[in-house]
């Protein structure tokens, strides 16, 4: 509700640090990796970016996307975006087992599903030279320390959660933007 998601907060932090940054956030609530392939990929390429951040996968887990399908689509995205010459930062999936919504749904929706998706993200990052930020591991400390990490739906990050997320990504992004 305040300050946008992590991309908006990253851009704001970079500007506060004296870096003249323009940014476009093409993130869409509820999007899955296939939505990026079908709806956002051409728009990203048309922008001719110098830096791309990508956080995807949580909705794929909750909506039953198969891991192999997720990895294939993520690989397709990475191949296409690498052609832009932009640096690319990808974040893996937070430990959603710690989210309030996890207490309200069958455990089969998340138990044992996050790790294979994060392995797929890591594999694609290695294969394409993407900069991987480990939100999953960091979230295991962040979420218990910040009871306000999630907004009232118990699923999406709150303003405080997006602040934590942006702070985690900032060192990697700042280094790439400073180049």
**pLDDT, tens digit (0-9, with 9 covering 90-100), for 101-146:** 888 776 666 678 899 999 999 999 999 999 999 999 999 999 988 8
Could you tell me which residues come within 8 angstroms of residue 36 by beta carbon, excluding any fewer than 6 positions away?
A: 54, 56, 73, 77
pLDDT tens string 68-90: 999 999 999 999 999 999 999 99
pTM of the model as a whole? 0.93
Look at residue 106 in the predicted model and tell me its pLDDT.
Answer: 65
Whether residue 164 has pLDDT greater than 80: yes
Q: Are 37 and 74 in contact (CB under 8 A)?
A: no
Q: Give the three-state DSSP class for 89.
A: strand
Q: Report the pLDDT averaged over residues 7-32.
A: 93
The CATH T-level fold of domain 5-178 is Rossmann fold (3.40.50)
Q: Are 7 and 160 in contact (CB under 8 A)?
A: no
Mean predicted lDDT score pLDDT of the chain: 92
Cα dihedral sign, 55-57-59-60: positive
CB atoms within 10 A of CB 106: 8
């Amino acid at each position: 509700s305040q300050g946008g998601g992590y991309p908006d907060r990253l851009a704001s932090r970079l500007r506060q640090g004296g870096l003249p940054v323009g940014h476009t956030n093409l993130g869409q609530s509820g999007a899955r990796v296939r939505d990026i392939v079908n709806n956002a990929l051409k728009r990203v390429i048309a922008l001719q970016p110098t830096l791309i951040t990508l956080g995807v996968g949580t909705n794929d887990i909750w909506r039953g996307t198969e891991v192999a399908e997720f990895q294939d689509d993520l690989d397709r995205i990475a191949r296409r975006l690498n052609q832009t010459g932009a640096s690319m930062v990808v974040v893996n999936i937070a430990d959603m087992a710690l989210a309030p919504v996890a207490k309200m749904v069958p455990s089969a929706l998340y138990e044992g599903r996050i790790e294979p998706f994060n392995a797929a993200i890591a594999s694609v990052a290695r294969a394409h030279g993407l900069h991987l930020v480990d939100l999953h591991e960091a979230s295991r400390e962040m979420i218990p320390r910040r009871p306000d990490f999630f907004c009232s739906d118990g699923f999406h990050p709150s303003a405080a959660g997006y602040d934590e997320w942006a702070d985690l990504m900032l060192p990697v992004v700042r280094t790439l933007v400073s180049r």
